[in-house]
Amino acid sequence: MSRSTDSGALEIPDLSPAQALDRLRAGAHLVDVREAHERALGMAEGAIGIDRNTLVADPYGHLPDAGAEVLLICQGGTRSRLAAQALAAQGYRSLASVLGGTTAWEAAGLPMVRTDIDDDFAERYSRHLRLPEVGLDGQRRLQQARVLLVGAGGLGSPAAFYLAAAGVGTLRLVDDDVVDRSNLQRQILHADARIGMSKVASAAIALEALNPRTRLEAIHERITSGNVERMLDAVDVVIDGADNFPIRYLLNDACVKLGKPLVYGAVHRFEGQLSVFDAGRHRGHAPCYRCLFPEPPPPEAAPNCSEAGVLGVLPGVVGLLQATEAIKLILGIGEPLAGRLLQFDALAMRFRETRLAPDPDCAVCAAGRPFPGYMDYQQFCAGR
Ligand SMILES: [Zn+2]
């Protein structure tokens, strides 16, 4: 029973870990009130994990019966006592705190539930682990994911940095270019000292320094009809950071054929746009790039960055939005940008969204239509 002490705080009985285990086996609830990243390193077997703030904010949402026996455990025994006092103040009548916490429980050789994660993982991703929408399961999903990033340039730079930082296990970077001084105004993966180096090698240096846990597959090749399926092999999400029409159509067709989600992004001067094309997995329900643009614009109407110029921060914004969509797709959270085109105007600082419907007559993604085969994309985009 809880009693008030002279100071007004409620006195909470302590149980040794062995006593707590006996009570647990007799039907008491054992609640581990540490943060998710702490619990991820191992918990008393049978405990349920609810961090202290969450529990105290809404105890009845987690433990509806105020008369039930509730034992609280943390790392060393302090937070569990504070949590128990807070529950007592909210009407719980049978509370105890585990003396010495999980440290004492483990030292006593009592059963633990262990995860296979290490300290680096728990610390590095602690801000993800405490988000219920990510958590340990989501972080593991990120670790097991492989993202293909086509282009280690303006869009690919921020996307790659944040995907590596977020813990995407494997990044496959494909780019056949070398670092040029004119790239450094926006392609932040690269550095002045690496001018002349292949972009994928330069990117690997930057990403390795940020997160050595991310495995980098650096491929110094131009993506073509001949190698695209090898590039997409075992990939969960494709990010188009190439920003040129032949590669865009090629990636679209391959992603429809192989059922991979494609995170599209493009920039031009002060404006950018992005979408998620997921027609390969949702035939007839989600559009592909060709539903939006069945044919490329004439080359003179669509100059690239080297011809038209681009505000350096612009691909940063769009590339980060692409990375955001990729992470959501891997985690299966939120509402993906499929079926929507998001346009960004940096000068006006405005976002605009347009609904995109699948084209029932699309040459590539129409429901039931067999794959028409790859085409000569250079000619398709240049020769009309
Ligand atoms: Zn289509």
Q: How many angstroms separate the alpha carbon of residue 294 from the centre of ligand 1?
A: 8
User: Taking residues 303-317, what's their average pLDDT?
Assistant: 86
pLDDT at 384: 47
Query: How far apart are the C-alpha atoms of 175 and 156, rounded to whole Å?
Result: 10
**Mean per-residue pLDDT over the chain, rounded:** 93
289 CA from centroid of ligand 1 (Å): 6
Average of per-residue pLDDT across 2-25: 79
**How many Å apart are CA 243 and CA 316, to the nearest integer?**
13
How much distance in Å is there from the Cα of 258 to the middle of ligand 1?
14
What is the end-to-end Cα distance of the chain in Å, rounded?
Answer: 84
Report how far ligand 1's centroid is from the alpha carbon of 286 (Å): 8
Integer Cα distance of 37 and 75 in angstroms: 12
Could you tell me the distance, in angstroms and rounded to a whole number, from the CA of residue 130 to the centre of ligand 1? 39
The predicted-structure confidence for 100-115, as pLDDT tens digits, reads as follows: 999 999 999 999 987 7
- Residue 166 pLDDT: 98
pLDDT 10s digits, 26-43: 999 999 999 887 887 789
d(CA 230, ligand 1 centre) in Å: 22
Distance 352 CA to ligand 1 centre (A): 22
Å from CA of 247 to ligand 1 middle: 16
The alpha carbon of 270 and the centre of ligand 1 are apart by a number of angstroms equal to 28
Instruction: Give percent of the chain with pLDDT exceeding 90.
Output: 83
Least confident among 10-24, 60-74, 114-128, 237-251: 114-128
Write down the pTM of the prediction: 0.78
Query: In this predicted model, what pLDDT tens digit does every residue of 139-152 receive, in sequence order?
Result: 999 999 999 999 99
* Closest C-alpha among 136, 139, 108 to residue 15: 108
Over range 292-308, report the average pLDDT. 78
CA distance 328 to 321: 11
Other C-beta atoms closer than 10 Å to the C-beta of 122 total 20
* Distance of CA 268 from the midpoint of ligand 1 (Å): 23
Pairing of strands 112-113, 146-150: unpaired
Nearest to 70 by CA among 111, 19, 27, 35: 27
Q: Following CA atoms 224, 228, 231, 237 in sequence, which dihedral angle do they give, to the nearest 10 degrees?
A: 120
Spacing, Cα 358 to ligand 1 middle (Å)? 6
Q: Ligand 1 centre and the CA of 117: distance in Å?
A: 42
For the chain, the C-alpha Rg in angstroms (whole number) is 27
Say how many Å lie between the CA of residue 28 and the centre of ligand 1. 57
Distance 363 CA to ligand 1 centre (A): 7
How many angstroms does the Cα of residue 170 sit away from the middle of ligand 1?
A: 29
Distance from the CA of 292 to the center of ligand 1, in angstroms?
7
Task: Give the tens place of pLDDT for each residue, 243-260.
Answer: 789 999 999 999 999 999
Q: How many A from CA of 360 to the centre of ligand 1?
A: 8
Q: What is the distance in A from the centroid of ligand 1 to the CA of 97?
A: 60
Instruction: Tell me the CA–centroid distance for residue 284 and ligand 1, in Å.
Output: 8
Contacts of 89 (CB under 8 A, 6+ apart): 10
Q: Residue 383 has which token pair? A: 């020769």
CA 290 to ligand 1 center in whole angstroms:
5
